Amino acid sequence: MNRMKRIHVEPLLRELDMTFNDASLLVQAFTHASYTAEHPSKPHNERLEFLGDAVLELAMSEHLFDRLKECAEGVLTRIRAAHVSEPALSTFAKRLSFDRYLLLGRGANLSGERQRPAILADVFEAFVGALFLDQGFDEVRAFLLKWVFPFVVVDLDALIDAKTRLQEMAQARGGRVKYQLVSDHGPMSEERFCVQVFVDDDQRGEARGRSKKEAEQRAAAIALESESN
C-alpha cells in the first residue's frame, strides 16, 4: 500500500491482512456518490461497482463450476444468482465491517444510508473492482476464497422449486412432465384446485392447493418423493 498518505481504511486492511498498491483505488471504492457531491475532487465508486459486478460474477461462476461438477447450467445459474444478489453481498459487506469505512454525504449519513443493503452491496462490488484493477483476478479469487466462498451454501431444495427439480430430472432421462387440472371447485379460501402430475404419461402425484400453481408444486414434490423411494 502507498504509505505516502494515510487513508481512512488502513484499519480494514490490517483486519483483512491485505495491502493495496494504489491506495486511491481503495478510497474510491468506499466513496459514495453523496460524498462526491459535497467533495467534487473525490471520485465516487460507481464505475468500480460496475467492474466489480462483472468480476465477482465470473469468480463465483468459476468457483461453482469447479465445486458442483454434477449440476446443470440452470442450477448453477440459480445458485450464482442467490450469492451475488443484493442481500448476499450486503451480508458479506457487513460481515467485513465495510459499513464502518463508507464515505457518505452528511444527509445520507444522517438518514441511515450506511446500513442500507443496496449501498452495502454496491461497496462490496466496488471493493472487488478496485482489487481487480490493483492486483488482478488471482488476488480477487484469493480474497473471495477466504472471505466469501466458505459461506456459500448450496441447498438445492431451497434454491430450486419442486416443479423445476422434477422437470430437470425428467429431461435428464429424456422424458417429459405434464400437469392436469382435475377440479377447481370450492370457496377461494380453501384448497379448491386439484392437480395431477404425469411423468411420461404415468401419474406420479396428486395434490390440492389454493391456487393451481400451489397444487402443481405440491404434486411435483410428491412425485419427487416417490422417485426417491
- Digit-coded pLDDT (tens) for 67-103: 888 777 887 888 898 899 999 999 999 999 999 999 9
Tell me the residue ranges of DSSP E strands in 109-189: 177-184
Q: What is the pLDDT of residue 68?
A: 85
The least confident of 81-90, 138-147, 151-160, 186-195 is: 151-160
Which three-class secondary structure state does DSSP give residue 69?
coil
Give yes or no: 70 in active site: no
Same domain, 149 and 166: no
103 part of a folded domain: yes
Among residues 4, 15, 24, the alpha carbon closest in space to that of 100 is found at 15
H or E stretch at 204: strand 202-209
Q: What is the CATH number of the domain that holds 185?
A: 3.30.160.20
Q: Is residue 5 part of a domain?
A: no
Whole-angstrom Cα distance, residue 229 to residue 223?
A: 10
Whole-number Cα distances in Å, 105 to 36, 50, 112, 122: 8, 21, 11, 16
Domains in the chain: how many in total?
Answer: 2
What pLDDT is attached to residue 18?
94
Alpha-carbon torsion angle 139, 143, 144, 150, nearest 10:
140
pLDDT at 4: 37
- What pLDDT does residue 5 have? 54
Whether residues 78 and 61 fall in one domain: yes
What average pLDDT does range 124-149 have in this prediction? 97
In this predicted model, what pLDDT tens digit does every residue of 11-54 receive, in sequence order?
999 999 999 999 999 999 999 999 999 999 999 999 999 999 99
In this structure, the answer to whether residues 147 and 186 fall within a common structural domain is no
Instruction: Establish if 129 belongs to a structural domain.
Output: yes
DSSP 31: B
At 195 the three-state DSSP class reads strand
Choose the catalytic residue: 53, 99, 113, 134.
53
Do 139 and 204 reside in the same domain of the chain? no
In this structure, are 44 and 153 located in the same domain?
yes
Residues 49 and 128 grouped into a single domain: yes
Distance, in Å, from the CA atom of 113 to the CA atom of 35, rounded to the nearest integer, reads 12
Shared-domain flag, residues 117 and 83: yes
Catalytic site includes residue 125? yes
Per the structure, the complete domain to which residue 112 belongs is given by 10-157
Checking if the pLDDT of 156 tops 60, the result is: no
Asked which of 118, 142, 157 is the last residue of a domain, the reply is 157
Q: Among 49, 113, 125, 216, which one carries the catalytic annotation?
A: 125
pTM higher than 0.85:
no
Per-residue pLDDT tens digits for 46-66: 999 999 999 999 999 999 999
Q: Is residue 3 part of a domain?
A: no
